[in-house]
Amino acid sequence: MRIRRAEPGDAQRLVALAEQVGAEPGDFLLTTDTWRAVGDERRYLRAVRHHPDAAVYVAEVAGEVVGRLSLSRDVHAASQHVADLGLMVAAPYRRQGIGWALLEQAVDWARGAGVRKLELHVFPWNEPALRLYDTFGFVREGIRAGHYARGTEDVDAILMAFHIRPPGPR
């Protein structure tokens, strides 16, 4: 497995990954429709490559993109020490350490960017993700009731956070 910064040339594979995860019966992604178009994803990846407050990483196994990590610093002056993250791993590659490795990459990026807190939202029914985040050291900070509209339904999200410590054992 290899973790690296996403390149614009990864757009098609990242769109395919998102569509694959989005089509799973677990309803793990926010969108109930399609992901971005490949051209939009390519433009997004181009812009993010040169942005100091955001990053996208991919996990590759045998040249196949099997995971995605997206990071973005909060733009408000009082919370610029916080960044939001999104994570997805293709179903056949889960529970093999890929999600963990992507979370470690998130911590490395945060340290380099001066971010002291990583946040994410996870659906309450996504038990495998909750186990990963709990085990990694994320804490549950609350429930955002009806926070997201998925199709015609408003659904809750669990807000979780990881506080960045200086390098060393956790």
Return the CATH number at 65: 3.40.630.30
Domain containing residue 51: 2-116
pLDDT of residue 27: 61
Spell out the per-residue pLDDT of the chain, length 170, in tens.
999 999 999 999 999 998 888 776 556 555 545 668 899 999 999 999 988 899 999 999 999 999 999 999 998 888 889 999 999 999 999 999 999 999 999 999 999 999 999 999 998 988 999 999 999 999 999 998 878 777 788 888 999 999 998 666 65
Structure-block tokens of residue 76: 């408000």
Strand partners, 80: none
In angstroms, the CA 139 to CA 117 distance is 11
The domain tally of the chain equals: 1
In a domain, 37, yes or no: yes
pLDDT of residue 125: 86
pLDDT of residue 71: 97
In a domain, 156, yes or no: no
In angstroms, the CA 2 to CA 148 distance is 32
pLDDT of residue 170: 54
Q: Which residues contact 101 (CB under 8 A, 6 or more apart)?
A: 1, 3, 59
C-alpha 101 chain-centroid distance? 12
pLDDT of residue 14: 94
